[in-house]
């Protein structure tokens, strides 16, 4: 039976923006709702309900159902830009928590746009921002300060920390908040400290994944039971993890870096500008200038159909209209010859071809749950799903060594949406896999190498945050695993991912720019992680919760700013110069090259080198039961020589691919042992 509740505060016109990078005029990306502060028998609760959910539930202000203190469980795999027709799904965004579970919150200054508040719980759960379109954020916080002690961060004036119960501190004024004028000390006596609780939920399975697939089985480290479950600690090669207890904000000796410059972004490349880059024969006049423009602003959607083919090596940079037409004819024949190879395998042959059968089953499973909320793939019997399936199966014929590894469907999906053609999408996907094949190696050597490189970069650029992560069992940066594996596919909306990818594909301003993007995101979350004193579990949960809430343009500006800051540094370690491909002059170790320009296939393969660690990460445990895919051997794989195709309208469609599950599932990496844990992490 629902318990009676007293409404202490109520305000409508409070929205959740399901795509933080959308234009404010996009009303379909805004969910209207009401925010409440309720006094229940169990305590003081803050709740936000979507507008139609409120009316459908039919709750009166005095009759509220008692539900979990952690009520926000978004579907991580759905694209955030859902339309108004999906209002039945708004309920999943409902917010509900006890204010004593609150660890901190972020509040923007309403200088431009709407004021918003982001609430962060003690267990690391981070709710979507509540945007107060009609005002009221200040009034809500003023009401909340009657029950909690709020302190403004010394390092981030947007961040406010909730302090635990301290009778001496609580007897002081709340004026430190600097948002309100009056204190409410009369309510201090009612403040009772709530025991610290950690909600592991699905992250217990993440722990199992990290233990089984990535971490060593030799050196278990047990943390206090009340904080989290038993974990196994292992360091990546080249990392020295600090064992000091809770260093907090200690002074750390570091190389003084030059000031980080402000970076400006530009407008995306338009169709008119694209035409101006081509001469009469269809050849690009100035490749450097074109790539610089794409890096600065991205590409408008109508131009992507042609521009992506250059960026992904399907077109050669010096090709003409005529050469592209001739080359595409050969590519069409080559594609369908490879497709025929697996299409003509009989059922009897398949019984004795276990590897192909396994890959076929894996592809069918993934295709039915890849981006199913996107209009291009939604609905039962959608023929585009069959095209997705056929491209992935044909890639197994093209690259026998690598075949198919779960996660590849996530990389193909945006390409197929842009190309709308089976053959063109295949060759562009093949070009992308040339760049990213090291992410899918069976022993995960490429992934471990990139995580180690993030550690080296942060150790030099921000040793304070790096030291904090090390001392909280996060110095191996495994929480960045999903970011790197599929290049932030699950962190941004579908449209934003397309823009991010084309920026990365320019190989500007340096190689491994995606690692600097990781640093930029972590730099934005630094105050939240450190001042909340998040541990391993909370860090993992918080990083997972900020997907779809990362501002793309701000992140790209910050990432480039970090690059320019490092470029101006007089003394840079050789390891950093190698990661970012800085050119070292004999007289100045800090000198670096400008932006490099790929020409032909060389630009494509320059970033395909397989990076291996100088000493492996306990290879016996890291590669033990990984049987989902064959080991990729760079020396034996075919090098991609991609001639030039031309645009072919229409999408080759065939019959649907059996039953379809409506939910877009998570990525499962390499090994059956990893499936459960990884799918929970990505969901």
Q: Is the pLDDT of residue 40 over 80?
A: yes
**pLDDT tens digits for 456-502?**
999 999 999 999 999 999 999 999 999 999 999 999 999 999 999 99
Q: Are 214 and 236 in contact (CB under 8 A)?
A: no
In the prediction, which pLDDT does 114 show?
78
In the prediction, which pLDDT does 610 show?
36
Give the Å distances, CA to CA, from 552 to 92, 373, 499, 520: 24, 21, 9, 10
Instruction: Measure the CA angle with vertex 442, ends 437 and 448; round to 5°.
Output: 75
Q: Is the pLDDT of residue 632 over 70?
A: no
Instruction: Look up residue 381 and give its two tokens.
Output: 């019997």
Give the Å distances, CA to CA, from 560 to 157, 460, 519, 553: 24, 16, 11, 11
Q: What is the mean pLDDT of the chain?
A: 73
Q: Between the ranges 75-84, 249-258, 342-351, where is the mean pLDDT highest? A: 342-351
**Mean pLDDT, to the nearest integer, of 380-401?**
95
Q: Is the pLDDT of residue 111 over 70?
A: no
**pLDDT tens digits for 236-247?**
444 443 444 444
Q: Is the pLDDT of residue 262 over 50?
A: yes
Q: Is the pLDDT of residue 359 over 50?
A: yes
Residue with tokens 């961040």: 159
Residue with tokens 């978004």: 74
In the prediction, which pLDDT does 3 show?
55
Query: By percentage, how much of the chain surpasses pLDDT 90?
Result: 43
Q: Is the pLDDT of residue 375 over 80?
A: yes
Question: Nearest-CA neighbor of 486 among 504, 510, 509?
Answer: 504
In the prediction, which pLDDT does 109 show?
60
In the prediction, which pLDDT does 670 show?
34
In the prediction, which pLDDT does 30 show?
81
618 or 289, greater pLDDT: 289
Instruction: Look up residue 453 and give its two tokens.
Output: 């490189």
668 or 27, greater pLDDT: 27
In the prediction, which pLDDT does 455 show?
96
Helix, strand, coil percent content, the chain, rounded in steps of 5: 45, 10, 45
**Mean pLDDT, to the nearest integer, of 376-399?**
95
Measure the CA–CA gap between 311 and 506, rounded to whole angstroms.
7
Report the range of poorest mean pLDDT among 404-418, 527-541, 609-623.
Answer: 609-623
Give the Å distances, CA to CA, from 535 to 104, 123, 466, 470, 525: 15, 9, 13, 10, 14
Q: pLDDT tier at 139 (50, 70, 90 boundaries)?
A: confident
Question: Nearest-CA neighbor of 311 among 226, 427, 203?
Answer: 427
Q: Is the pLDDT of residue 195 over 90?
A: no
Q: pLDDT tier at 135 (50, 70, 90 boundaries)?
A: confident
Measure the CA–CA gap between 229 and 219, rounded to whole angstroms.
15
Q: Is the pLDDT of residue 518 over 50?
A: yes
Q: Which residues contact 586 (CB under 8 A, 6 or more apart)?
A: none
Q: Is the pLDDT of residue 602 over 80?
A: no
In the prediction, which pLDDT does 639 show?
37
In the prediction, which pLDDT does 607 show?
36
**pLDDT tens digits for 88-101?**
566 778 898 998 88
Instruction: Look up residue 678 and give its two tokens.
Output: 């990884």
Measure the CA–CA gap between 353 and 346, rounded to whole angstroms.
10
In the prediction, which pLDDT does 115 show?
84
134 or 295, greater pLDDT: 295
**pLDDT tens digits for 520-537?**
999 999 999 999 999 999
In the prediction, which pLDDT does 221 show?
39
In the prediction, which pLDDT does 93 show?
80
- What are the helix (H) ranges across 59-201? 137-144, 167-170
Question: For the chain, what is the radius of gyration of the CA atoms?
Answer: 26
In the prediction, which pLDDT does 28 show?
55
Backbone phi, psi, residue 152, to 5° = -75, 140
**pLDDT tens digits for 567-587?**
999 889 999 999 998 865 443
Report the range of poorest mean pLDDT among 43-47, 359-363, 463-467, 495-499.
Answer: 43-47
Measure the CA–CA gap between 20 and 147, rounded to whole angstroms.
30
- Its pTM stands at 0.64
Give the Å distances, CA to CA, from 412 to 389, 436, 470: 10, 12, 35
Q: Are 518 and 555 in contact (CB under 8 A)?
A: no
- Residue 236 preceded by cis peptide, ω within 30: no
Query: By percentage, how much of the chain surpasses pLDDT 70?
Result: 63
**pLDDT tens digits for 546-572?**
988 899 999 999 999 999 999 999 889
**Mean pLDDT, to the nearest integer, of 367-393?**
94
Instruction: Measure the CA angle with vertex 535, ends 531 and 536; round to 5°.
Output: 140
């Amino acid at each position: 039976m629902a318990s009676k509740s007293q409404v202490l505060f109520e305000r409508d016109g409070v929205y959740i923006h399901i795509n933080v990078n959308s234009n404010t005029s996009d009303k379909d990306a805004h969910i209207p709702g009401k925010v409440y502060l309720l006094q229940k028998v169990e305590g003081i609760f803050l709740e936000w309900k979507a507008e139609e959910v409120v009316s459908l539930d039919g709750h009166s202000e005095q009759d509220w159902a008692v539900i979990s203190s952690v009520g926000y469980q978004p579907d991580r795999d759905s694209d955030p830009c859902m339309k108004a027709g999906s209002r039945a799904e708004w309920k999943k965004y409902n917010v509900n928590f006890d204010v004593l579970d609150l660890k901190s919150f972020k509040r923007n200054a309403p200088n431009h746009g709407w004021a918003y508040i982001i609430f962060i719980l003690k267990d690391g759960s981070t709710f979507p921002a509540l945007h107060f379109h009609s005002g009221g954020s200040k009034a809500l916080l003023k009401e909340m300060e009657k029950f909690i002690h709020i302190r403004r961060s010394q390092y981030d004036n947007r961040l406010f920390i909730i302090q635990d119960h301290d009778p001496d501190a609580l007897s002081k004024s709340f004026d430190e908040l600097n948002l309100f004028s009056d204190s409410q000390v009369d309510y201090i006596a009612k403040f009772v400290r709530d025991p610290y609780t950690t909600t592991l939920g699905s992250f217990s399975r993440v722990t199992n994944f990290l233990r089984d697939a990535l971490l060593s089985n030799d050196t278990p480290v047990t943390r206090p039971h009340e904080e989290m479950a038993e974990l196994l600690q292992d360091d990546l090669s080249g990392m020295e993890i600090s064992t000091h207890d809770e260093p907090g904000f200690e002074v750390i000796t570091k190389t003084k870096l030059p000031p980080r410059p402000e970076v400006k972004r530009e407008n995306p490349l338009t169709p008119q500008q694209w035409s101006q880059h081509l001469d009469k024969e269809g050849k690009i006049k100035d490749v450097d200038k074109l790539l610089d423009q794409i890096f600065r602003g991205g590409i408008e959607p109508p131009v992507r159909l042609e521009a992506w083919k250059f960026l992904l090596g399907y077109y050669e940079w010096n090709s003409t209209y005529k050469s592209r037409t001739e080359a595409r004819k050969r590519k069409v024949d080559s594609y369908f010859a490879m497709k025929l190879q697996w299409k003509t395998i009989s059922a009897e042959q398949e019984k004795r071809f276990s590897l192909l059968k396994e890959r076929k089953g894996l592809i069918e499973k993934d295709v039915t749950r890849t981006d199913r909320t996107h209009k291009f793939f939604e609905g039962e019997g959608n023929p585009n799903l069959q095209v997705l399936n056929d491209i992935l199966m044909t890639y197994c014929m093209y690259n026998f060594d690598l075949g198919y590894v779960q996660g590849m469907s996530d990389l193909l999906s945006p390409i197929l949406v842009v190309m709308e053609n089976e053959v063109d999408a295949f060759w562009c996907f093949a070009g992308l896999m040339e760049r990213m094949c090291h992410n899918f190696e069976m022993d995960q050597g490429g992934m471990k190498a990139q995580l180690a490189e993030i550690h080296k970069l942060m150790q030099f650029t921000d040793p304070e945050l790096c030291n904090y992560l090390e001392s909280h069992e996060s110095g191996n940066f495994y929480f960045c695993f999903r970011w790197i594996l599929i290049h932030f596919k699950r962190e941004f909306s579908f449209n934003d991912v397309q823009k991010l990818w084309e920026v990365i594909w320019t190989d500007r301003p340096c190689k491994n720019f995606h690692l600097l993007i990781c640093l930029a995101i972590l730099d934005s979350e630094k105050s939240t992680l450190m001042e909340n004193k998040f541990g391993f579990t909370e860090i993992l949960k918080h990083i997972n919760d900020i997907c779809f809430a990362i501002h793309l343009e701000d992140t790209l500006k910050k990432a480039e700013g970090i690059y320019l800051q490092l470029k101006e540094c007089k003394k840079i370690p050789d390891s950093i110069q190698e990661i970012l491909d800085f050119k070292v002059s004999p007289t100045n170790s800090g000198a670096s090259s400008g932006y490099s320009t790929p020409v032909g296939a060389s630009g494509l393969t320059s970033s395909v080198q397989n990076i291996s660690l100088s000493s492996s990460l306990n290879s016996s445990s890291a590669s033990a039961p990984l049987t989902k895919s064959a080991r990729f051997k760079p020396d034996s794989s075919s090098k991609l020589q991609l001639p030039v195709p031309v645009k072919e309208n229409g999408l080759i469609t065939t019959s649907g691919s059996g039953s379809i599950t409506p939910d877009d599932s998570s990525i499962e990496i390499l090994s059956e042992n990893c499936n459960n844990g990884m799918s929970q992490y990505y969901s």
